[in-house]
Amino acid sequence: MDSASASMYGSGILHAWVKKADGTVHDLDAIMSADDDPTMESTEIPGDDEIKVTFNSNQKLGLSIKANAHSFGAIDALSGNTTTFVAATTGVGAQPAYKHTAGGTNSEKNPPFVEMGTVTNGKDNLGNEGHIIRVFHKLQAMPAKSPQENASEYGTEFDATAYPTATDIEGNALASKRIYTKYFIDGPYDPANTIV
């Protein structure tokens, strides 16, 4: 991206991740969409015949996420649950290897705070390749749902709320209190990127 770029265009979400407070990152595999809805409380101060001013407070961001996979680590991080692996057994009562994840647990009533990031293909107005990265610094998820339909892909869907914070999920100071940061980067996206 050139320093003279005036704008950035984007199309096609291609990656998303979840980061825990200990810095562990999990790919939210097969991401399809990440939609947000900002909300805040408003207090209007009336005058004798008109509204004089409106004060806004308690800003937050509602998110709706859809992915065409169940990413074990990411869903565990979002829910506070743990996926368990069970090895295959042989002989009488043999069972195949499997993993199981609990749903509807007490940890989902007060889920952990995590960071979530999304990446979209991009290009600036000068034609240079780039990517748009959006990092939600402090997020809590509602329990995930997994629609199962005839002739339709299996998926994971969940709603989440992102809150303002002065630190990232690992406790490092941000430049200002915020809900998210957008990065517009030059060239191809590399998950090992040191920006985020």
Say if 109 falls within a structural domain: yes
For range 174-191, the mean pLDDT: 91
Number of domains observed in the structure of the chain: 1
Say if 193 falls within a structural domain: no
Say if 191 falls within a structural domain: no
For range 136-160, the mean pLDDT: 92
Q: Which domain holds residue 74?
A: 8-39+59-186
Average per-residue pLDDT in the chain?
92
pLDDT for res 194: 63
Say if 138 falls within a structural domain: yes
CATH of the domain at 163: 2.30.110
pLDDT for res 192: 77
pLDDT for res 12: 92
pLDDT-based confidence at residue 1 (cuts at 50, 70, 90)? low
Residues 53-92 pLDDT 10s: 999 999 999 999 999 999 999 999 999 999 999 999 999 9
For range 186-194, the mean pLDDT: 80
Residues 23-34 pLDDT 10s: 999 999 999 999
pLDDT for res 13: 94
Say if 100 falls within a structural domain: yes
Say if 181 falls within a structural domain: yes
Residues 110-120 pLDDT 10s: 999 999 999 99
Say if 196 falls within a structural domain: no
Say if 91 falls within a structural domain: yes
Q: What is the pTM of this model?
A: 0.88
pLDDT at 104 over 70: yes
The DSSP result for the chain, as a single string, is --TT---EEEEEEEEEEEE-TTS-EEE--SEEEEEEEEEEEEEEEE-SSSEEEEEEEEEEEEEEEEESS--HHHHHHHHS---EEE----STT----EEE---S-GGGTSPPPEEEEEEEEEEETTS-EEEEEEEEEEEEEPPPB----TTS---EEEEEEE--EEE-TTSPEEEEEESEEEEEEESS--TT-S--
